[in-house]
Structure 1
Amino acid sequence: MLAILVPLSGYLIVDHYGKNVVPIPRYYIPERVDTIVKNGKVSYDTVFHTIRDFHMTNQLGQKVSLKDLNDKVLVVDFFFTSCPSICPTLTKNLRLLQSAYVKNDTLLQILSFSVDPVRDSVDKLRKYAYDYKINPDNWWLLTGDKKEIYDLARHDFFVSVTEGDGGPDDFVHTEKIVLIDKNRNIRGYYNGLDTNDIKKLASDVATLYLEKERHRPGFLKFLKGLFSTTN
């Protein structure tokens, strides 16, 4: 029931009340303010940070990039397969989130970047995914160039306040989960070890997906996608 009620209730709330009443996840990391002149009137528009494209390899050995995920809300975390502390709990909580959207897996994409990509080979990621019953349809465990992953963590997702060169002695370890909207803006940070934060994240995913915009799906189309895999 949770798999159906979370996105459905999110749709009904957003559709009925509109974004002026329903709490919409705010934007993070403003980068500049543009001046707009139209019909002699001056207005200002804040431009927020946008996640850049990247190229990684997932647990199936597939080469993937951000461009493969158009029109999906993204949930991002950083982990490593041999982590004995926070990662097992973090992964289990994300598994609960994935289960909540199992009937509509085209809505959400979870991306887990390995912070130990040298040791976390495709085979290790695949075994880790099997052990935690991770569905690869909408959850990728990613490995790739360590410097690129660490640069993404620090300067795109902003989950670490430390600086480093991505070398052998550099290390990023965080319980933060990042919510990214369909326009690739950061819309939330959550404690991946806190089940209350995971519940809020589940609700915010639905809200962002159904956030009123020019190409927002209609209610019947949403329901069709929601129940298409129930049989």
Structure 2
Amino acid sequence: MSAPEVERPRTRRWVGLLVVGVLALVAALALPLLRESRARLRARGLPDFGALPTFRLTDQTGRPFSEADLRGAVVVADFMFTRCPTVCPLLTAKMARLQRQAREAGLAVRFVSFSVDPRYDTPERLAAYADTRHLDTSNWSLLTGELEDVETTVLEGFRVMMGRDADAGEDDFLSIFHGEHFVLVDADGRIRGYYRVVDDSGGLESLRRDLEALVHAAD
């Protein structure tokens, strides 16, 4: 008569362990779905600033590069020039940091830097700039081209300012000005955000979260 009394607590323990195991399995399966759902909600909540512009430029290797090379990818773009002694080195460092974070998170993202001083920034100078700063160009392209083509792409396409003081000569690189925001483009080629990253206002972290949401939403 005593055997059932001894076995009952042991049976309860096994049932309890089984329930815990099932709940853990359900949680493990549900967590990725929950993250994906949150990512899709965040992605849908981002503004839409219009389509990525069409352009025909040249990358740091001398190869033609157009918006078609970015098709289907989440893209982060910025605007710089190699002679810039002020904000551009900081922008490049921030982009490199974001690139590392995306790689560590397993996010497939493309990075593009448009030179706003294209008459000076030849492909060779862009390549030297990338080499000097040890940039990973496996998914990061630095672009140049005819000044008119760059201006059309930056000013009309990305809606980012760029220019030079009217009375400045070609050697007066300190007269060059440009927007300091990073621009986020989704996998459908739509501009989804502008982020100020040169200060500590949280722009880079917001960009990281938004690009992660767009990558997961595109999967």
Q: Is the 8 A contact 2:55 2:66 kept in 1?
A: yes
Post-superposition offset of 1:174? 1.6
2:204 paired residue number: 198
Gaps of 5+ in 1: 1-10, 30-48, 218-231
Q: Distance in 2 between matches of 1:144 and 1:137?
A: 20
Cα shift readout 1:126-157 (whole Å, capped 9, x = no counterpart): 11101222111111110101111111111111
Per the normalisation by structure 2, the TM-score is 0.73
Q: Does 1:27 find its partner at 2:33?
A: no
Gaps of 5+ in 2: 1-31
Q: Is the 8 A contact 2:40 2:213 kept in 1?
A: no
User: Alignment partner of 1:210: what SS?
Assistant: helix
**Residue 116 and residue 100 in structure 1: after superposition, are their counterparts in 2 closer, same or farther (change >3 A)?**
same
**Residue 208 and residue 65 in structure 1: after superposition, are their counterparts in 2 closer, same or farther (change >3 A)?**
same
**Residue 205 and residue 119 in structure 1: after superposition, are their counterparts in 2 closer, same or farther (change >3 A)?**
same
Find the partner of 1:175 among 175, 180, 203: 180
Q: Distance in 1 between matches of 2:120 and 2:59?
A: 14
Residue correspondences, number:
182
Equivalent runs, 1:185-224 vs 2, <5 Å: 185-195=190-200, 196-211=202-217, 216-217=218-219
Report the aligned-residue RMSD.
Answer: 2.9
User: Alignment partner of 2:178: what SS?
Assistant: coil
Structure with higher helix content: 2
Q: Is the 8 A contact 2:94 2:197 kept in 1?
A: yes
- Residue 197 of structure 1 aligns with an amino acid whose one-letter code is G
Moved over 6 A (4+): 161-165
1:44 paired residue number: none
Post-superposition offset of 1:53? 2.0
1:57 paired residue number: 58
Per the normalisation by structure 1, the TM-score is 0.69
